[in-house]
């Protein structure tokens, strides 16, 4: 693109935005993204962005204020005549209700896609969507990155013998298979049930884990029930050691304590969203995806291939 690349960030993950800015050597655009006295979101971009290729970096984890900041920043950019606006959403919130699988439930992921598009985004760059088909909820171009290359490299360096990658539920099998293939590991999966939206139960472990080192791979850790109960079931079936990796560390109240008490030796997460204040567990390690996002932004700007970053 011949027009200038600019980066704008809200408050949902400033440290990640700063790392992306360092990677690209492009400073964050001067802007005030703050609150009016009554709590409403206030945005003021303090420099000229007319005619620019603007990337707005803002994951949309709870609270919903993060989403509102993104929408209001997009609107500001549109009205300030940015030539192209890309919403960089490393964690796309409200993604879990992505189909009408029960009576009287919303498809929240589609609603979020509509809001972002209606606000004026021209493109989206995101990572490890809860379900790949959410890409189709957007009628604008969307680049979907995977954190897999980063975690696979990390686990390759550990050189575990007798490794098994475990999907914590049937929805995770495809990604776990991709990890297993790249790590030269075998594959197993957990037959998980959800008796309640915030509870998980392990019904079966399908595949051999006895005597093996296991990596449970998931996209989100929220309550931690899926991972910790999965780890317990795997350990009960004779696994030697259990590691876990998760792209988006939502870590709701009680999740960190759950991980600490669990048989998980180490939980590796990415920085698509920041760890909550006070989370400081020796079991939880953060691996940054900033360079991958920065590289993708650079390539989108230069109209180069992004798919080569998938491996």
By C-beta, is 213 or 226 nearer to ligand R5P?
226
Per CB under 6 A, does 269 bind ligand R5P?
no
Q: Confirm if 79 and 120 have CB atoms less than 8 A apart.
A: no
Per CB under 6 A, does 275 bind ligand R5P?
no
Q: Please pick, from the candidates 76, 213, 222, 290, the single residue that binds ligand R5P as defined by CB under 6 A.
A: 222
By C-beta, is 55 or 189 nearer to ligand R5P?
189
- The DSSP code for 131 is S
Burial of 45 (0-12, 13-18, 19+ CB in 10 A): buried
Q: Residue 113 Cβ, how far from ligand R5P at the closest point, in Å? A: 19
By C-beta, is 66 or 226 nearer to ligand R5P?
226
Q: Is it true that the peptide bond before 250 is cis, omega within 30 degrees of 0? A: no
Per CB under 6 A, does 128 bind ligand R5P?
no
Q: Confirm if 189 and 173 have CB atoms less than 8 A apart.
A: yes
- φ and ψ of 12, to 5 deg: -75, -20
Q: Please pick, from the candidates 10, 90, 207, 224, the single residue that binds ligand R5P as defined by CB under 6 A.
A: 224
In angstroms, the CA 1 to CA 54 distance is 12
* Closest by Cα among 93, 48, 50, 52 to 69: 93
Residues 23-82 touching ligand R5P, rule: CB under 6 A, are none
Residue 35, C-beta contacts closer than 8 angstroms, at least 6 positions apart: 41, 42
Instruction: Please calculate the CA angle 105-137-145 and round it to the nearest 5 degrees.
Output: 115
Residue 286, C-beta contacts closer than 8 angstroms, at least 6 positions apart: 249, 268, 269, 270, 271, 275
Q: Residue 225 Cβ, how far from ligand R5P at the closest point, in Å? A: 4
Question: What crossing angle do the helices spanning 173-183 and 148-156 adopt, rounded to 10°?
Answer: 40
Q: Please pick, from the candidates 60, 217, 226, 262, the single residue that binds ligand R5P as defined by CB under 6 A.
A: 226
Q: Please pick, from the candidates 77, 129, 221, 284, the single residue that binds ligand R5P as defined by CB under 6 A.
A: 221
Residues 187-206 touching ligand R5P, rule: CB under 6 A, are 198, 200
By C-beta, is 82 or 273 nearer to ligand R5P?
273
Q: Residue 195 Cβ, how far from ligand R5P at the closest point, in Å? A: 12
What is the pairing mode between strands 199-206 and 186-196? antiparallel
Residue 94: strand, helix, or coil: coil
Decide if 192 is catalytic.
Answer: yes
Per CB under 6 A, does 168 bind ligand R5P?
yes
Kindly name the residue from 192, 235, 261, 283 that is annotated as catalytic: 192
For ligand R5P, which stretch binds (CB under 6 A), given 31-39, 117-125, 166-174, 202-210? 166-174
For ligand R5P, which stretch binds (CB under 6 A), given 13-21, 78-86, 224-232, 289-297? 224-232
Binding-site ranges for ligand R5P (CB under 6 A)? 168-169, 171-172, 198, 200, 218-226
Active site residues: 192
């Amino acid at each position: 693109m011949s027009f200038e690349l600019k980066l704008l960030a809200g408050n949902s993950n400033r440290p990640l935005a700063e790392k992306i800015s360092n990677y690209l050597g492009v400073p964050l655009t001067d802007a005030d993204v703050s609150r009016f006295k009554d709590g409403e979101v206030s945005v003021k971009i303090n420099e000229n962005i007319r005619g620019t290729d603007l990337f707005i970096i803002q994951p949309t984890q709870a609270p919903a204020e993060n989403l509102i900041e993104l929408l209001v920043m997009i609107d500001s950019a549109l009205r300030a005549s940015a030539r192209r606006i890309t919403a960089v959403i490393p964690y796309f919130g409200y993604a879990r209700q992505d189909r009408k699988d029960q009576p009287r439930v919303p498809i929240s992921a589609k609603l979020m896609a509509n809001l972002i598009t209606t606000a004026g985004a021209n493109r989206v760059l995101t990572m490890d969507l809860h379900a790949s088909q959410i890409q189709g909820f957007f009628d604008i171009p969307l680049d979907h990155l995977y954190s897999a290359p980063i975690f696979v490299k990390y686990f390759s360096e550990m050189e575990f013998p007798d490794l098994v990658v475990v999907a914590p539920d049937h929805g995770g099998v495809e990604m776990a298979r991709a990890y297993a293939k790249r790590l030269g590991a075998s594959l197993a999966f957990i037959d998980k049930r959800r008796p309640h939206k915030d509870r998980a139960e392990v019904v079966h472990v399908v595949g051999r884990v006895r005597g093996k080192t296991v990596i449970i791979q998931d996209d989100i850790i929220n309550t931690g029930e899926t991972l910790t109960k999965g780890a317990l079931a795997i350990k009960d079936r004779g696994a030697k050691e259990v590691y876990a990796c998760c792209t988006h560390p939502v870590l709701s109240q009680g999740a960190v304590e759950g991980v600490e008490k669990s048989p998980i030796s180490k939980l590796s997460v990415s920085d698509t969203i920041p760890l909550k204040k006070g989370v400081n567990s020796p079991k939880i390690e953060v691996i940054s995806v900033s360079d991958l996002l920065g590289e993708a932004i650079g390539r989108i700007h230069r109209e180069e291939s992004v798919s080569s970053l998938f491996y």
